[in-house]
Amino acid sequence: MGALGHYLEAEGIATTGISLVREHTEVIRPPRALWVPFMFGRPFGVPGDASFQRRVLLQTLALLEVTTVPLLEDFPDEAPGSAQDDEPALACPVSFMRPAESGLPGAVQREIADLGPWHARSRSGHSSANPGSNASGLLPAEIARFLLASIDDLAVRIYREDLDRVTALRLACHDLKAYYLDAVLHQPGAGSARAAEQWFWDETAAGEMLLKLRDACTRSSDAALQRFGAKGIVPMRVTIRNRTENR
């Protein structure tokens, strides 16, 4: 839709839109866009919260008054939770113990193996060629090795020659998170998507790994990696919560 905006503007029709992936919007550079730090699939926030959704819609439409383009504006607030999101924390039947002697790499690989049967269940009935489920082209274990190596050395060899480093990291992070969330949401007693996401960031070694990757990227001297680390790895609500808890 961002690319379509360029064609409409060329015909004299002003356009505006909502972005859920800021990095994509920075590349496409649509005439006007409002980036929102919400979960995928919820561009206006949680279902049923009409007043909050109206705020998002009005701020998006207000961008039409701006004539100096392209413009990418950030929505200032996280979306409130819904009643479903307030369910008890996800009770995962897989126990992720992290023996100290194996370190983070071993813990991540064990998690990936333990979740394998549940992920296979999540994929049953879906085409294995679904590009959204494996955009990087790597197996989960390969993704983990690449991301762990990147934490230690952001100049590590990229797994695909057609990708720049930020895109390679972005696809790998997306695929790993999708693997975990698809798997856990197909376990007995699975809760809401928000509960699954909180479980990923608070209780898994993979979540710990991505937090370390964020820190490595934000310390980089490369401006693109800094931006990716700041907004492309960890959801804003997780970053804000961590900062609040660590005060």
Of 34, 61, 82, which one is at a domain's C-terminal end?
Answer: 82
73 three-class SS: strand
Q: Grade residue 48 by pLDDT with cuts at 50, 70 and 90.
A: confident
Q: Grade residue 26 by pLDDT with cuts at 50, 70 and 90.
A: confident
Residues 104, 50 within the same domain: no
Q: Which of 14-18, 76-80, 139-143, 203-207 shows the lowest per-residue confidence on average (mean pLDDT)? A: 76-80
pLDDT for residue 133: 57
Indicate if the alpha-carbon torsion angle 216, 103, 133, 94 is positive or negative. negative
Residues 71, 135 within the same domain: no
Residues 217, 148 within the same domain: yes
End-to-end, the C-alpha distance of the chain in Å comes to 40
State how far Cα 80 lies from the chain centre. 18
Q: Is residue 101 scored above 60 in pLDDT? A: no
Domain enclosing residue 56, as ranges: 2-82
In angstroms, the CA 225 to CA 244 distance is 25
pLDDT for residue 243: 53
pTM metric for this prediction: 0.63
Q: Which of 20-24, 202-206, 219-223 shows the lowest per-residue confidence on average (mean pLDDT)? A: 20-24
74 three-class SS: strand
Answer with the residue of higher pLDDT: 94 or 190.
Answer: 190
Q: Is residue 73 scored above 70 in pLDDT? A: yes
pLDDT for residue 63: 94
Mean pLDDT of 42-49: 85
Residues 68, 174 within the same domain: no
The number of folded domains in the chain is: 2
What tens digit of pLDDT does each residue of 168-214 get?
A: 999 999 999 999 988 888 777 666 777 888 899 999 999 999 999 99
Residues 190, 101 within the same domain: yes
Residues 104, 175 within the same domain: yes
Residues 106, 183 within the same domain: yes
72 three-class SS: strand
Residues 137, 164 within the same domain: yes
Is 127 domain-assigned? yes
pLDDT for residue 193: 76
pLDDT for residue 130: 41
Residues 112, 142 within the same domain: yes
In angstroms, the CA 169 to CA 22 distance is 15
Task: Report the 3 state secondary structure along 14-65.
Answer: CCCCEECCHHHHHHHCCCEEEECCCCCCCCCCCCCCHHHHHHHHHHHHHHHH
Mean pLDDT of 92-117: 74
Is 193 domain-assigned? yes
Of 82, 105, 124, which one is at a domain's C-terminal end?
Answer: 82
Q: Grade residue 28 by pLDDT with cuts at 50, 70 and 90.
A: confident
Residues 73, 164 within the same domain: no
- The residue to which tokens 């720049």 are assigned: 164
Q: Tell me the average pLDDT of the chain.
A: 83
What is the phi/psi pair of residue 81, to 5°? -80, 160
Residues 72, 132 within the same domain: no
Residues 129, 227 within the same domain: yes
Is 247 domain-assigned? no
